[in-house]
Amino acid sequence: MISSLFNRARNPEEKRVRAWCRTTLGITPGNLPLYRQALRHVSAVKDEQPDLPDNERLEFLGDAVLDAIIGDLLFSTYPDQGEGFLTRMRSKLVSRTQLNMLAKRIAIERVMESNVARTHESSVPGNALEALIGALFLDKGVRPYAQGRGRAHQEALRPAGDPEGRSRWQEPLAGMGPEASQEDRVRGARRRRQRAGPALCCRSAHRW
Highest mean pLDDT among 46-50, 79-83, 122-126: 79-83
> In this predicted structure, what is the pLDDT of residue 122?
78
Give the domains, in start order, of the chain with CATH numbers: 2-176 (1.10.1520.10)
Residues recorded for the chain: 208
Q: Which residues contact 57 (CB under 8 A, 6 or more apart)?
A: 134
> In this predicted structure, what is the pLDDT of residue 86?
94
Rounded-to-integer distance, Cα 110 and Cα 106, Å: 9
Q: Which of 63, 67, 109, 155 is flagged as catalytic?
A: 63
**pLDDT digits 0-9 by tens, 175-206:** 444 444 555 555 555 554 454 444 434 443 44
Q: Which of 101, 100, 91, 94 is nearest to 175 (CA)?
A: 91
CA distances from 145 to 54, 112, 122 (A): 22, 20, 25
Q: What is the pTM of this model?
A: 0.67
Question: Is 164 a known active-site residue?
Answer: no
Rounded-to-integer distance, Cα 137 and Cα 144, Å: 9
Dump the DSSP string for 105-169.
HTTGGGT-B--S---TT--HHHHHHHHHHHHHHHHH-HHHHHTT-SHHHHHHTS-TT-TT-HHHH
Question: Is 130 a known active-site residue?
Answer: yes
Q: Is the pLDDT of residue 129 over 60?
A: yes
| φ, ψ dihedrals at 146, nearest 5° | -65, -35
Q: Is the pLDDT of residue 71 over 80?
A: yes
- Least trusted range by pLDDT, from 31-40, 122-131, 141-150: 141-150
pLDDT band at 11 (very low <50, low <70, confident <90, very high): confident
Q: Which residues contact 187 (CB under 8 A, 6 or more apart)?
A: 80, 81, 82
**pLDDT digits 0-9 by tens, 101-119:** 999 999 999 999 988 766 5
Q: Which of 54, 59, 130, 184 is flagged as catalytic?
A: 130
CA dihedral 112, 116, 119, 124 (to 10 degrees): -50
Q: Is the pLDDT of residue 100 over 80?
A: yes
